[in-house]
Structure 1
Amino acid sequence: MTYESFVACLAEAEPPTGISLVLQGLWYAGRQQWEQAHTLAQVTDRDQRHNWLHAYLHRQEGDLGNAAYWYRRAGRSVFTGSLTEEWEQLVRAQPEIAR
């Protein structure tokens, strides 16, 4: 799957089948469905990709203290660009997305 095809599938009623929980969370986040995305981010706190998604979602919500905690758990610095830029970076960082 390419980044462009992932963005295009945001218009579908359901996320694509067979994608990771993190990419599903990003699909919901891309559709502004925060609760569904957050539920998927909380599935585990032992995976840095989940933790980065979790950080992004709390930053999106405006809870910067909580976001900072999850960035630390993800082994990342707090993102300083726009939410749109971070969402794109998160999507592109997923193994299912062709580089």
Structure 2
Amino acid sequence: MTYTEFSDSQTQSEVPAGLSPFLEALWYAGRDEWHRAHAIAEEHENAPLFDWLHAFLHRQQGDAGNAAYWYNRARRPEFDGSLRHEWKELVRTQLPA
């Protein structure tokens, strides 16, 4: 699956089959299904990529303090761009353009 295919799948009613848990969480996050995405992130704590995802989700939620905690755990600077831009960067860590 490419980034474009993944992004386009956001209009489907069901998560595409065969996605990794990381991409599944991002699929839900991209549809503003925060609780579903967050539950997946919580299942994979202590993995730097999931910690970054967790930071993004708390930023999406509007909880800057909690997001800062998770960015620190992910050993990443707090993201300076838009939520959509960060979502794209997270997806692109896993999928080609």
Q: Give the structure-2-normalised TM-score.
A: 0.95
Match of 2:42 in 1: 42
Structure 1 residue identity aligned to 2:45:
D
Q: Distance in 2 between matches of 1:15 and 1:61?
A: 21
Structure 1: 5+ residue stretches without partners = none
Match of 2:87 in 1: 87
Q: Distance in 1 between matches of 2:70 and 2:28?
A: 19
1:34 positional shift:
0.5
Match of 2:10 in 1: 10
Structure 1 residue identity aligned to 2:60:
Q
Q: Distance in 2 between matches of 1:91 and 1:40?
A: 15
Match of 2:96 in 1: 98
Q: Distance in 2 between matches of 1:14 and 1:43?
A: 21
Q: Distance in 1 between matches of 2:86 and 2:77?
A: 12
Q: Secondary structure of the equivalent of 1:42?
A: helix
1:14 positional shift:
1.3
Match of 1:53 in 2: 53
1:98 positional shift:
2.0
What is the aligned-residue identity percentage?
51
Q: Secondary structure of the equivalent of 1:69?
A: helix
Q: Distance in 2 between matches of 1:7 and 1:83?
A: 15
RMSD (Å), alpha carbons: 0.9
1:47 positional shift:
0.9
Structure 2: 5+ residue stretches without partners = none
Q: Distance in 2 between matches of 1:30 and 1:19?
A: 14
Q: How many residues align?
A: 97
Q: Distance in 1 between matches of 2:96 and 2:88?
A: 13
Over 2 Å off, 4+ runs? none
Q: Give the structure-1-normalised TM-score.
A: 0.93
